[in-house]
Amino acid sequence: MSRITSAEIDSIYDSRGRPTVEATIVLESGARGRAGAPSGASTGAHEVAAFPPGGVPEAIRTFRARVAPALLGLDAADRAAIDGRLHELDGTPSFGHLGGNTATAVSVASAIAYAEEIGVPLWKVLARPHVDGRVFPAIVGNCLNGGRHAIGGPDIQEFIAFAESARPEESVAAAIRVHGLIGEELHRRFPKLALGRGDEGGWVAPLGNLEAVELLTEVCARVRDETHLSVHPGLDLAASEFFVEGKYRYKEQTLDPAGQVGFVEHLVDRFGLRYLEDPFDQEAFDDFAALTRSVGGRTLVVGDDLYVTNAERLAQGIEQGSSNAVLIKVNQVGTLTDTLRTVDLADASGLATVTSHRSGEVPEGWLAHVAVGTAARGLKCGVLGGERVAKLNELLRLGRATGR
Ligand code: 2PG
Ligand code: MG
């Protein structure tokens, strides 16, 4: 038995310089796992709370007083027992007492410790029954930032290169190439401007929404020609962020929900988008369904704030036909057990899963193992910045381990 002999939590910083937590779990054998939890900016209304009301200090106090003693002696092989204990100790539906980030850090650190103890890579410990670790996700690489992740950029939050290859070396290189060429093009267009990068390492430039999609689309076509890979444009609109009093309020236009459906359909047709995340408000299951009916055969329609990795919300989306894909973020729902339950439901219903980072990240690579262990259709982890590259590099290592 892989008994937990020590459980600790401490404060670290995320890539935005905000405090978060990391957990260290040690087993009887001496095997140890450490994991930090990320934080979002455009958080969904139905996500679990990242921290209790008193923030990281309260999360740490509560952990030391009540959680650590209750984890000692548990078997790290029994994920359900560890994650179940976290829920019991929390006692709220939203990790309001312990904090979802504590739950994520402990859940992941325990899995890492167990993987080390039995001498296998983390992805194998997480692997769903049908997964052999040889299917690699497309890179969902955020190249231009807007919305809450950028100051002075477009309203749309993320302009994404969706790069596919059976070999991660190729898909990662293609996404990085798109990012680099967009930078070159921006320098050419704005020679006097000091360009910046947003929270997720994508460029920030004074572009309108359509100008930005146009630029992304041109560059994806260039990289497609160069590499002969499938490299297509995608967007995360994070539309809940600019849905105010029943209308989608862009700088250039204001649309009612029917207008927004039409606008997004137009974007898919005009730019050949292959990836479309959160094009509507987080409660708009019906509008998602209308869009999935019309363009779902040509593009991934992905629910992020809509589902918040929550199996009950996903079940509603499946019933209504709201999307053909779901974004998977561990700390939206708390534990790996909750996360994998949502993945299993998506798999059973034929929906694609896309494993995702948060805008405030930690420089760790475990997310790549979640993607490979669940045979995710995509890994959304940004393109540049140490905390993003950590995940891409880990994916490369996993690819090399299988000869890809
Ligand atoms: C999103 C994410 C990550 P945040 O909306 O998909 O890109 O942003 O972590 O701020 O919720
Ligand atoms: Mg999103």
The enclosing domain of 223 has a CATH number of 3.20.20.120
Each residue of 300-335: pLDDT tens digit? 999 999 999 999 999 999 999 999 999 999 999 999
- Verify that 108 and 193 share a domain, yes or no: no
State how far the Cα of 24 lies from the Cα of 26, in Å rounded to an integer.
Answer: 7
- Verify that 203 and 272 share a domain, yes or no: yes
- Verify that 58 and 162 share a domain, yes or no: no
Domain assignment present for residue 124? The answer is no
Each residue of 159-183: pLDDT tens digit? 999 999 999 999 999 999 999 999 9
- Verify that 264 and 394 share a domain, yes or no: yes
Q: Considering the chain, what percentage of its residues have pLDDT values greater than 70?
A: 100
Domain assignment present for residue 369? The answer is yes
Each residue of 29-67: pLDDT tens digit? 999 999 999 999 989 999 999 999 999 999 999 999 999
- Verify that 91 and 200 share a domain, yes or no: no
- Verify that 63 and 30 share a domain, yes or no: yes
| Average per-residue pLDDT for the chain | 97
The enclosing domain of 72 has a CATH number of 3.30.390.10
- Verify that 109 and 158 share a domain, yes or no: no
Domain boundary among 88, 119, 150: 119
pLDDT for 258 equals 97
> How crowded is residue 162: how many other Cβ atoms within 10 Å of its Cβ?
29
Helix and strand numbers (H, E) in the chain are 14, 16
CA 307 to chain centroid:
12
Domain assignment present for residue 250? The answer is yes
Domain assignment present for residue 85? The answer is yes
pLDDT band at 25 (very low <50, low <70, confident <90, very high): very high
Residue 372, CA atoms < 13 Å, CB-side half-sphere? 28
Domain boundary among 92, 119, 146: 119
Domain assignment present for residue 133? The answer is no
pLDDT surpassing 90 at residue 153: no
- Verify that 82 and 158 share a domain, yes or no: no
- Verify that 72 and 220 share a domain, yes or no: no
pLDDT for 152 equals 84
pLDDT for 145 equals 95
Average pLDDT over residues 111-119: 98
pLDDT surpassing 80 at residue 1: no
16: Cβ below 6 Å to ligand 1?
no
How remote is the CA of residue 305 from the centroid of ligand 1, in Å? 9
State how far the Cα of 219 lies from the Cα of 207, in Å rounded to an integer.
Answer: 15
Each residue of 186-197: pLDDT tens digit? 999 999 998 899
- Verify that 226 and 342 share a domain, yes or no: yes
Which residue's CA is the closest to the ligand 1 atom numbered 3? 358
Average pLDDT over residues 57-79: 98
- Verify that 371 and 268 share a domain, yes or no: yes
Cβ atoms of residues 82 and 110 within 8 Å = yes
358: Cβ below 6 Å to ligand 1?
yes
Number of domains in the chain: 2
Domain assignment present for residue 129? The answer is no
238: Cβ below 6 Å to ligand 1?
yes
Q: Return the closest-CA partner of residue 74 out of 42, 47, 106, 102.
A: 106
Cβ atoms of residues 306 and 333 within 8 Å = no
- Verify that 88 and 25 share a domain, yes or no: yes
Domain boundary among 119, 151, 171: 119
State how far the Cα of 116 lies from the Cα of 118, in Å rounded to an integer.
Answer: 6
Each residue of 143-152: pLDDT tens digit? 999 998 888 8
How remote is the CA of residue 329 from the centroid of ligand 1, in Å? 9
Q: Which two tokens stand for residue 311?
A: 């199996």
Domain assignment present for residue 127? The answer is no
Domain assignment present for residue 263? The answer is yes
pLDDT for 151 equals 84
Probe target for ligand 1 pocket from 282, 300, 356, with the most ligand atoms within 8 Å of CB: 356
pLDDT for 97 equals 97
Which residue's CA is the closest to the ligand 1 atom numbered 2? 358
Supply the range of the domain harboring residue 95.
4-119
